[in-house]
Amino acid sequence: MSIPKQRIAVDMDGVLADVYTQFIRMHREETGEELQKESLLGLLEEDAFPYHDQHVNSDGFFRNAPVIQDAPEVLKALNEWHEVFIVSAAMEYPNSLREKHDWLSNHFPFITWKQIVLCGSKSIICADIMIDDHFKNLDNFKGRTLLFTQPHNQNAKANHHTRVGSWKEIEKLLLG
């Protein structure tokens, strides 16, 4: 069976990059306090992490974030069958632009510079599928939406979005 080629917009932070682990690690280094993901359920990142703004604006925050499990392998397979774009609303933190580019080059070398969209608002994005962890990016998207589960959205009803909890689930949904 042939899979029809589709354009897929993939968020970076919280979908490819494990920013929760990065926030928790930086919080521990700064305060000595060990935060548990379970205690962060339902909280926006800005509320869950007291030093949120300081951390996202610090050198290395985006460059050193760990990769979410199975993302490189599954994204590589998606990239072979579909038109994949990495879409990150990065303009809120302009210092992140270089770090995000370098991080993608390091962890996803098969993604070319032509497939990276660093923007202010994702409302401009036109694709068949969007994979994101924030409702604000998915709610007005015209195509199929996959809500990547993260602590901030875990307790929320997915509404018309398909909730996914891992890249293996995405692989099964989009590659069969």
The b-or-e profile of 144-172 (16+ CB within 10 A means b, else e) is bbbbbbbbbbeeeeeeebebbeebebbbe
CA distances (Å), 157 to each of 114, 130, 146, in order? Answer: 34, 18, 13
User: Which one is catalytic: 11, 18, 132, 133?
Assistant: 11
In the residue annotation, 13 being an active-site residue is answered as yes
In the residue annotation, 133 being an active-site residue is answered as no
Show Cβ contacts of residue 93 under 8 Å, excluding neighbours closer than 6 positions. 56, 57, 62
What residues are labeled active site?
A: 11, 13
